[in-house]
Structure 1
């Protein structure tokens, strides 16, 4: 039987991996910098020691028979060259020796590197040669030790990052699980009354056929159907396991339906609703987009004095739904956080008014983000407030 991982397990793994990689990368950069600095310090120190050793060998050279360990001395007088025993083949540096000019350079012979110091002393030119093999071996051991320490540091950082990531994400996972359980429980409890409401509305619809209340009851049936669809969309949005397939949604038709459903609420407040715009197709979830439009309409109706104008327009490769009211506008203190949860203006808790919890517009923002869109709010110069929902239009390749 194939075992499938839960969303929580996948979230924990992704977070652990991300933090582990970030920790390992930070350690890798640090180790690389430390290695570079340590190598430069060692190279400079070795070079100073080597030059000091060559200077000392030349200054104390009474003859070439007893040079310091690892060095050889060569002396030239009147064309006669005398060298220390065991001088490697290919040495001395005859060019520097014949020129008799003081200087130091690295000299390579048969894949071996030497440092050669030439210095004239009266009628004698002395050349000191130092074998750099021991310095290279010391440098190699240093780099090997740094690499081993760096690899161990990387492994330790990755393990520590994974452990810290798991500890950090567990509270988030618990909160998300609690949220999903709440939505699932609430959805389960709402299904039964919604089903009964829809059934009774349909029975009433059949009884009032060809009566003055037929249109109102038809609207009630449609509202019950839309409420059920909204509940399903809420449950889907709270379940991260899979996404429902998106479909083409006619924004123009959806907005007109939403405006029609909002007419009774607008009439109670003596607010007139106007809608204009053509059909524009977007790829998304109809129930979710309907929730967003309903929230924008509800906000406009609550704050309008007499008019709410809804516009559906296309701007390049995006569709825009704008809901503008002729109310007092949006408080500038709340405008930057208007689409965050529990943002409310100071007057929202006035006596006699239904308390606002600041969730409607934040849900609009979340639905917009779910569809790759955005929301914005402004106070036009003409007065009132204008809230806009921008969505990408359906492309030809996505049909």
Structure 2
């Protein structure tokens, strides 16, 4: 167990709080971006509508090229003569529109871009003359630029404030949880420390007994006792690693069929005590990647659950299929109570005891929750359902390594 606890926990809290702040900033950025896009779109449409309305009004109501509204110039073509407002940029005049409208009488609108400006024109026939109004778009562009700058500044300030507020609120929300997890890890570490000594004594005495029973009829049982003591020590170490988020259990390639076969062999005494026949179907070697002790715990928990609820037979198969391998444990018991099916892999979610439930229905506790967690740690899944012929089927599926 890693004892650099306070410093490690402080770093985890800072990282988590920073992540919360960044997520808040990202959410604000997306929101601000959408709102800014909508605002710019509304502004563009509003400006375009106002510009078109101004051009239309100017063309319809102004008769003198010398007195157009501010920012607008007029060009009137009549009897082969073209009169223009003073100051009209020559490049802004759309002569092709004037000629086309004079020919067909259609109203035309066009945008003209030149190196030093952008203009919009409206050309319309009015009686025996053709009138063209030219609007300078520079003021609209300036107004649009001011709006975009204001939005960028307020958006940047909002992002900074959102990140700071998210970090602060995230830290406040995480600290109590971090403290609870710290207490849990300390409890596991202390419990593990207290259990190490008696486990060491049990293992030592079992080994001494193994030496004395070398030529005894009890040799096989004593050998199993030594193996069980060793596996119990490994389980304790794996639990301590799993409780420490700063540590990772070592992973390696594991032959899963052997683990299942050993777990079935270790579970036979318990099955015999319950009057259950334990059958293991033949299976080819299958390799997975993970922690041997954790996988052994998961298989043992599935077998223990099946033995407790089987009526007389418990079948175990290891079936490779494509990129996955599935361990299936099938019993002939009363099946899974539908009331506990949705939560049967949750911690401490158990059904009523078999003696109190109708038909001797099964109960569930911590074992299947541990199987679910181990499966998730190994990138796998665990599932359960009732067989059509009675009994329950539990499946542990893991990624297969070729």
Is the structural similarity TM-score above 0.5?
yes
Q: C-alpha separation between the residues in 1 aligned to 2:112 and 2:253?
A: 77
Q: TM-score, normalised to structure 2's length? A: 0.87
1:368 touches 1:390 (CA, 8 Å); kept in 2? Answer: yes
Partner of 1:240: 245
Partner of 1:369: 376
- In the alignment, is residue 303 of structure 1 matched against residue 304 of structure 2? no
Structure 1 window deviating more from structure 2 (220-229 vs 98-107): it is 98-107
1:55-102 CA-to-partner distances (Å, cap 9, x unmatched) read 444445343333332222333332223322222223543333344334
Distance 1:43 1:261, change over 3 A: closer
Partner of 2:220: 215
Distance 1:82 1:221, change over 3 A: closer
Partner of 2:332: 326
1:320 touches 1:388 (CA, 8 Å); kept in 2? Answer: yes
- In the alignment, is residue 317 of structure 1 matched against residue 318 of structure 2? no
Q: How many residues align?
A: 391
Give me the CA root mean square deviation.
2.8
1:292 touches 1:367 (CA, 8 Å); kept in 2? Answer: yes
Equivalent of residue 393 in structure 1, options 382, 397, 400:
400
Partner of 1:184: 189
Distance 1:35 1:319, change over 3 A: closer
* Matched position secondary structure for 1:347: coil
1:117 touches 1:129 (CA, 8 Å); kept in 2? Answer: yes
Q: C-alpha separation between the residues in 2 aligned to 1:46 and 1:307?
A: 81
Q: C-alpha separation between the residues in 1 aligned to 2:129 and 2:231?
A: 107
- The Cα shift of 1:341 comes to 1.1
* Matched position secondary structure for 1:90: helix
Equivalent of residue 260 in structure 1, options 260, 265, 286:
265
Partner of 2:30: 29
Equivalent of residue 295 in structure 2, options 264, 272, 289:
289
Deviating beyond 6 angstroms after TM superposition, the runs of 4 or more aligned structure 1 residues are none
- In the alignment, is residue 228 of structure 1 matched against residue 229 of structure 2? no
Q: C-alpha separation between the residues in 1 aligned to 2:216 and 2:288?
A: 38
* Matched position secondary structure for 1:302: helix
Gaps spanning 5+ residues in structure 1: where?
none
Q: C-alpha separation between the residues in 2 aligned to 1:47 and 1:261?
A: 82
Q: C-alpha separation between the residues in 2 aligned to 1:93 and 1:302?
A: 93
Q: C-alpha separation between the residues in 2 aligned to 1:269 and 1:91?
A: 99
Distance 1:48 1:365, change over 3 A: closer
Partner of 1:339: 345
- In the alignment, is residue 142 of structure 1 matched against residue 147 of structure 2? yes
- In the alignment, is residue 87 of structure 1 matched against residue 93 of structure 2? no
Within a 5 Å distance, the mapping from 1:8-19 to structure 2 comes to 8-19=9-20
Q: C-alpha separation between the residues in 2 aligned to 1:313 and 1:52?
A: 76
Equivalent of residue 107 in structure 1, options 108, 112, 120:
112
